[in-house]
Structures are given as C-alpha cells and as structure tokens.
Amino acid sequence: NAGVTQTPKFQVLKTGQSMTLQCAQDMNHNSMYWYRQDPGMGLRLIYYSASEGTTDKGEVPNGYNVSRLNKREFSLRLESAAPSQTSVYFCASSEVRGADYEQYFGPGTRLTVT
C-alpha cells in the first residue's frame, strides 16, 4: 500500500498564478484533510472532507478551494497564488474503526510563491 500520496513534491509559482495540488489515498478512508505547515505556526487545517461529496472549512480556508473527486482523491486549488501561501502542504486521511482513530499524512508539497 502506498498510503497517502501527493503531487507535485515541489512547485514554484508567480503571484497570481493558479495551481492544483493532488492527493490520493489507498486505505479506503472516508475522511481527508489539507493542512499547511509554516515555521512557528505548526500544522493548520485548511479544508477537510468528512466523506465523499462533502467538504468543510478548517482554520485557514481563505484563498483556497477543494474538490473531493471520489473516495480516494482530494485536491486543493489555489486560484490566484500569493506570497503568503508559500508553505508546505500536507494531505491526510483518517478513519474511525470502533474505538480507534488514526490519521495518516502524505509526504507534502513544498510551494514557493514569488
């Protein structure tokens, strides 16, 4: 099993450009998440999808849109990139199995906006 995969691994954008970060999981999890990680700020939730067909805002949703394409895939779109969106982006997926809850992360996408 690959777990959670993300593409691309690195990306450089100019201010105003758009792009989509892709995420896929092969664990048959219902819930998926997008986080950003910045020095001194920790991991912050951007958007999440509790199940296929639903999406909800997290702590820092402004400037982003998401699409839950199917149960496996959850994409994050930057419509007009800004330097403040320079960050490392992580996708995660989770499942509740009885009393156990686990959340697994992908390897990340390092985005620089100039």
Partner 1 sequence: EDQVTQSPEALRLQEGESSSLNCSYTVSGLRGLFWYRQDPGKGPEFLFTLYSAGEEKEKERLKATLTKKESFLHITAPKPEDSATYLCAVFNNAGNMLTFGGGTRLMVKP
Nearer to partner 1, 1 or 99 (CB): 99
Q: Is 61 in the site for partner 1 (CB under 8 A)?
A: no
SS3 at position 83: helix
Distance spanning both ends of the chain, measured CA to CA: 36
**How far apart are CB 110 and partner 1 at their closest, in Å?**
8
Q: Pairing relation of β-strands 64-68 and 4-7?
A: unpaired
Q: Is 74 in the site for partner 1 (CB under 8 A)?
A: no
Q: Any idea which residue has 């620089």 for tokens?
A: 112
Nearer to partner 1, 59 or 79 (CB): 59
CA distances from 51 to 5, 29, 66, 74 (A): 18, 9, 13, 11
Nearer to partner 1, 7 or 80 (CB): 7
CA distances from 112 to 36, 60, 86, 105 (A): 13, 18, 5, 21
Using the contact rule CB under 8 A, the part of the chain among 11-19, 67-75, 77-85, 97-105 near partner 1 is 97-105
Nearer to partner 1, 40 or 53 (CB): 40
Q: Which of 1, 14, 28, 42 binds partner 1 (CB under 8 A)?
A: 42
